[in-house]
Chain A
């Protein structure tokens, strides 16, 4: 059973935060929601969780709307981090775990396991306010997954973390997915979404401008990027048939071409004429797709 968002609109007074959004997140999949600040990601999440009600449309998970009777199946990492600053890490997790319907005896070993995994076992009896921001975020993450939710909503899980901790969290997220958790997460970093998700949706002012399976999106996009590094001169390639875009980089050029055959033709054309250190055909990035669909760079 999957999470379905069917033609959902949310208006706050005269502003429309989410505009006729339709999404399906298959069971056990990782779904990435991309969007700049104010694009409607958090509002969408709050509607999925049943904290807000859609103005129009329906949201169903396992065929029913989400409410408090399902709160033990759902994990939520809000974008705005929030923990009790004065409470010790362990007490905090114990309380939040119990509110998600866990028994005390089940929570303690889970807490130990997670603290161990995130290398913060020494902090178990420290107050949250004494922890660094990165470590607080790990605690917040643990609070969201402690009860082994079936549906996990992560609002900007990697923001504000250093690269080492981003890797740590990514692995944890992938592990959860392997165990069958359906995960929806938002980010404003394209590369995180590209790396982790099978399905993506890019929101722009409450509308889905790109949505679908990532592999499909890339395949159907057609256009590809060709990177050439060397001594040039590359200027003539700008007029080469099949080249859609031409951009100079520090080491050479970056071309957008219509298809693979063009790359072949360019390769034959420059062979022996120029010194080439690198000739690489890249898959289109999510960013390329976004620019194509929206006509503006993703910010």
Chain B
């Protein structure tokens, strides 16, 4: 058992010290800090310059009200009395950033055309359009003789509430929170498996291609080796996640945003979090064993990618089904799929989160999942032990068979 911890420690420390790992972590952290402060960066580049828009008011009725609407925005209008053609020329020469021509329609309501050198930037016209719409609405209301109060009543949405009759069904608030948690788990699992599954397979394949494996397999039982590596990589990934989380949290705090705005998860029962952890860990173990075994079958690091692609597709499939299932969590398809061990971690958790699931169903899916992991680990250790002694061209299924035969008594 000691050796298991040596393998674990060795995997953890060498992975953590690897240059590539440190560089990825640092770059991602910088990216997170950047994202947290993105509004500031955009402001920094944009805000120092007000967009100067020339306005020709043909009707002579709207400019003042429009200018009032635009007060405080990035757009600074200036009323001009030039001819339209001259004004357009001035825009081309760069005197103005844009030209707005206002006129009245048959009902005496405002309409406008905006001219600029390019209209790729939608910010300014949007701003103008918004201001003009407000103006038009106010004018129309005034024409109809509506008060401001009546106007706001007109735009108020109808009250609409959803109530579940079944006792165990979740309330709307709980559902929204549960959905958030399910989303987080789905994404975390997806990212985790895609990012670190490859790492495990590569780790095993590297040891094999450097042929150090033959010494390892002669001194450490394959099962201890296999799990030492899997859990070592899991700890590495958790460490990385913890760093990301801490950086993102601090960056958001210092940039003055509400971190927990959409994470207000205080209405969820504690059991949801326990389930989240259980399904996450079991899901990781399941896929990690598969990746490690596949890594042990290839002879060169270059062969890792094609070998693990089928398992990657399986993860993607599970994720797609889960995303699809978020809207129909009580469909029988999702229920059936949630018993397939490769989908259980994502789908069963989704169901537990969104609809009432009988305890025996949860228990059964967990038993199936754990049994699959144990079975895979047992078969995996056999394949692993034989696989590390085989070199040559790759044929996954044939190699698996050969690897098992190689270790037959």
Contacts and interface: CB of A to CB of B under 8 A. Distances in A.
Interface string A88-121: 0000000110111100000000000000000000
Nearest to B19: A86
Interface string B305-339: 00000000000000000000000000000000000
A85 interface: yes
Contacts of A52: 389, 406-407
B389 A51 contact: yes
Given A52-B406, A98-B6, A84 B210 contact: yes
A12 B407 CA distance: 11
Nearest to B7: A99
Contacts of B217: 51
A81 B207 CA distance: 12
B10 A78 contact: no
B226 to A, nearest CB: 14
B220 A68 contact: yes
B210 A99 contact: no
Contacts, number: 66
Interface string A156-183: 0000000000000000000000000000
Contacts of A53: 407-409
Q: Chain B: interface secondary structure? A: helix
B79 interface: no
Interface in B379-409: 385, 389, 405-409
Contacts of A8: none
Given A52-B389, A87-B14, A95 B6 contact: yes
Contact of B218 (A76, A81, A85, A87): A76
Interface in B1-39: 2-3, 6-7, 10, 14, 18
B211 A81 contact: yes
Contact of A85 (B210, B219, B389): B210
Contacts of B220: 68, 71, 99
A160 to B, nearest CB: 14
Contacts of B2: 101
Contact of B219 (A46, A71, A84, A86): A71
B3 A99 contact: yes
Contact of B211 (A51, A74, A78, A144): A78
Contacts of A87: 14
B221 interface: yes
A176 B214 CA distance: 23
Contacts of B213: 82
Interface in A253-271: none
A98 B213 CA distance: 15
Contacts of A83: 210, 212
Nearest to A69: B221
Contact of B215 (A12, A50, A76): A76
Interface band, chain A: 20 to 34
A285 B218 CA distance: 35
Interface band, chain B: 20 to 34
A299 interface: no
A159 B7 CA distance: 30
Given A51-B218, A100-B219, A82 B407 contact: no
B354 to A, nearest CB: 46
B290 interface: no
A18 interface: no
A96 B213 CA distance: 11
Contacts of B215: 76, 78, 82, 96, 143-144
Given A52-B389, A52-B407, A99-B3, A71 B210 contact: no
Nearest to B386: A52
B14 A82 contact: no
A82 B218 contact: no
B124 interface: no
B67 interface: no
A95 B10 contact: yes
B357 interface: no
Interface in A7-65: 12-13, 46, 49-53
Q: Which of A12, A53, A87, A99 has the most CB of B within 10 A?
A: A99
Contacts of A96: 215, 219
B389 to A, nearest CB: 6
B305 to A, nearest CB: 20
A216 interface: no
A236 interface: no
Given A52-B389, A52-B406, A52-B407, A68 B221 contact: yes
B216 interface: yes
A122 interface: no
A228 B190 CA distance: 80
A24 to B, nearest CB: 22
Contacts of B210: 82-85
Interface of A: 12-13, 46, 49-53, 68, 71, 74, 76, 78, 80-87, 95-96, 98-101, 143-144
10 contacts: A46-B389, A51-B385, A52-B407, A53-B407, A84-B212, A87-B14, A95-B6, A95-B10, A96-B219, A98-B3
Interface of B: 2-3, 6-7, 10, 14, 18, 207, 210-221, 385, 389, 405-409
Given A82-B211, A95-B10, A99-B7, 11 more contacts: A13-B405, A51-B218, A51-B385, A53-B407, A84-B212, A87-B14, A96-B219, A98-B3, A99-B3, A101-B2, A144-B215
